[in-house]
Amino acid sequence: MEDKEKLQEQLNQEMAEVWENSSCSGSCSTCSGGCSDERAPRQAKRAYAVVSGKGGTGKSLITVLLALTLQRRGLTVGILDADVAGATIPRLLGDRGQIGSEGELMIPHSTADGLRVISMDLIADNPADPIIWSGADTSNIAALFWNGVDWGQPDCLLIDMPSGFGDIPIQLFTTLPLDGVIAVAAPGETAALSVGKMLSLCNMLLLPVVGFVENMAFPSGGDAAELYSLPEDIVKITLPYDPSLSRLGDKGALREAPPDLLAPLADRIAEEIRGAE
């Protein structure tokens, strides 16, 4: 409890500093604040955002499955749960352990198998309580989870983004040194409208899409090829609707899921990480 209170006090101090220095216009070329770089420092060998233009696609579940698959390939992995108001990563992992601290930095919680996790769900006293903050508040906390944490330079850091196009995705897309994004979609034309906008945004920001996962696909097969103009060089995965995956997530037992659901995507990321060494 003392650690949690200390972290909450640190968050409050950080937020006070943010508001005190909130004259940032978002344009580094006209800024007089003396920042050394418009991009945040690297916290991992490679960093990927897991995104979707809408909610309900299973993005957080895909984030956890991908992290576990990368671990099985001998990589050190962290998950930054940037969905501040709707954090679910600890629930999916079945682990609401403690975040530590060292000096002014937070230390990620490390699961029994070494997965490093930062999430609002690990700080809140009651994860069922709503986070009633403005968009600016939540985006600044999400940024703090990058800049105010000693991640220990893992091989890969996955950022589980909130759905939509709000403050958090825009701020993190434009300030973090991301190596690419993994898009998660649900089947159907309605979902394609929002997910397609997210793909367009990534293209505008020159963020490479390295993987596309169509989750909960219809029994007749995925329809991503018909609904999206996807580059040939990205990894495309179709996961059929499987209620057992949802049940495993509810129980925090995704380690029991089939180990190779996202194998092609994990292999692509592992290749990029090892190629950068």
CATH architecture assignment, domain 2-19+46-275: 3-Layer(aba) Sandwich (3.40)
What's the CA angle centered on 154, arms 13 and 209, to 5 degrees?
95
Report the predicted TM-score, pTM, of the whole model to 2 decimal places.
Answer: 0.85
Which of residues 2 and 22 earns the better pLDDT score? 2
CA distances from 239 to 61, 92, 271 (A): 12, 18, 22
Integer Cα distance of 262 and 17 in angstroms: 41
pLDDT of res. 41: 93
Three-state DSSP state, 195 = helix
| All structural domains of the chain with their residue ranges | 2-19+46-275
Whether the CB-CB separation of 56 and 187 falls below 8 Å is answered with no
- Lowest mean pLDDT: which of 34-38, 93-97, 208-212? 34-38
pLDDT of res. 219: 77
pLDDT of res. 175: 93
